[in-house]
Amino acid sequence: MSTQTDAADPRFAGLPGRPGKIIAVHLSYASRADQRGRRPAAPSYFFKPSSSVAASGGTIERPTGTELLAFEGEIALVIGRAARRVSVADAWDHVGWVTAANDFGVYDLRAGDKGSNVRSKGGDGFTPIGASLVDARTVDPDALRLRTWVNGALVQDDAASGLIFPLAQFVADLSQHFTLEPGDVILTGTPAGSSVVVPGDVVEVEVVDPATGASSGRLVTTVVEGEGPAYDEAVGSLPVVDDDQRIAAWGSREAAGLPPAAADAASASADAGAEPLTPELRAKLHEAPVASLSSQLRKRGLNNVSIDGVRALPGSGKLVGTARTLRFVPNREDLFKSHGGGQNAQKRAFDAVGEGEVVVIEARGEHGAGTLGDILAIRARARGAAGIVTDGAVRDHDAVAGTGIPVFSSAAHPAVLGRKHVPWDTDLTISCGGATVQPGDIIVGDGDGVIVIPPALAEEVADAALAQEESDAWVAARVAEGHPLEGLFPMNAEWQARYDAEHEAGPA
């Protein structure tokens, strides 16, 4: 338990004393798991330092240089009797009290420590607990209810019955691995509704037993702007923010103020009148040469739809699919350090590409480093991708060509990504080979090059291109018969009438 000094420390006013251990559950509520799109088969945990504890009525600083401080209202279990290798049936007898907690975290700091959350959730004041303790013997653990308010608005409301794993299981599970000692705290996870708070916001968390009315009281924390210096790059990792972290912190793309993802953008485009890439349309585009498609787009006023400077790798074949975009920015050492490692934008793009989609990479026409290699090409093929287009270079050229997936690039180069590029972001409007490409655009490539087709025009352009091919084949046959080009290519009225008549009559 605590020393006399710890017991008098106002940070621990909501607890029996300073806890020896604080163990937090990663993902535990069904509502939160559904929001994240994954449901764990067993609980997983991380530790928080006791120095992160704060009492009700205090403040939490959003660290200087960060933007994604998120709250997580939670039920806290305080161990009353030592537990070592206890069963689920006996585990609750070792819980002395329940109370409210707020498992604050800074998503900007997650990249440095992954699942351990040392930096992102270990800061001073990041674990408010209280306001008061409720005797665990007087409550039904499965009936406990958790509520969280931000600036007076209810944002989380869930019951312990909504947990994937019962509260007692956390105690039993952890006791298999080490002794839970009196005063230790288990933070049991947060339901859906966790989101970002900013300086000036007030967050309140309460745990109640509806049957008895027993309550922890409202645990109140006010967010303030950090006054300390920014993080020092020479000492450790710096804050990193990208759209994936924003979505995770806010709870959704919409809440984070981000544009729709590629699939959503394609759906919205379809709702606005665009044709989806149906199997029938895909078959037409496979048959139609890029040269004819380009001509038809030009007739409709679209002259800047060619991805210039790219050529198919050997064995690539025809490319038809919808765009999934990836953007690289010029290498800067500090940015590559923060964005180049781990599950960076490049890896996320290749892990997320779907069946029939094309990874289109903006590399600024830079040929001095590879933008993908054989492993990523294999990953794209395994995902069912239709192909890859980059206006940069390919590394492992022969191996990439050997994967069998259509790949169009502007060069080959042996150097790795970081020599010239920083993988920056995905699923946004990019420039590739001088053409603007949006997520959901239709990409078609063959030996003549690669073009971008707006989805709303694809059906019309495909039909017109196939009709043009039929007409051109007829003209070619007449030229082969010895007819001069004048009046035939392009056809004058006389030749056009002859073609129309034969075309309507069909094969002899």
Annotated binding site: 373-376, 395-396
The answer to whether 417 and 387 have CB atoms below 8 angstroms apart is: no
Closest CA to 71 of 251, 209, 234, 231: 251
Q: What CA–CA distance (Å, rounded) separates 159 from 206?
A: 12
Burial of 494 (C-beta count, 10 Å sphere; 0-12/13-18/19+):
exposed
Strand partners, 332: none
Q: What CA–CA distance (Å, rounded) separates 238 from 64?
A: 11
Q: Annotated binding residues for Mg(2+), as ranges?
A: 396
> In which residue are the tokens 């009196």 written?
182
> In which residue are the tokens 């939670």 written?
74
Taken as a whole, the chain contains a residue count of: 508
The answer to whether 47 and 21 have CB atoms below 8 angstroms apart is: yes
CA 1 to chain centre: 42
Neighbours of 316 (CB within 10 A): 22
Q: Give exposure, 227-262, as e/b (b: 16+ Cβ within 10 Å).
A: eeeebeeeeeebbbbbbebbbbbbbebeebeeebbb
Q: Give the alpha-carbon dihedral of 331, 247, 347, 119, to 10 degrees.
A: 70
SS (H, E, C) 159-216: EHHHECCCHHHHHHHHHCCCCECCCCEEECCCCCCCCECCCCCEEEEEEECCCCCCEC
Contacts of 224 (CB under 8 A, 6+ apart): 59, 60, 61, 62, 199, 200
Residue 107 is given by DSSP the state G
**Cα maximum dimension of the chain:** 108
Q: Annotated binding residues for substrate, as ranges?
A: 373-376, 395
Q: What CA–CA distance (Å, rounded) separates 433 from 362?
A: 8
Residue 480 is given by DSSP the state H
Q: Number of C-alpha atoms within 13 angstroms, CB side, residue 48?
A: 33
Q: What CA–CA distance (Å, rounded) separates 435 from 324?
A: 15
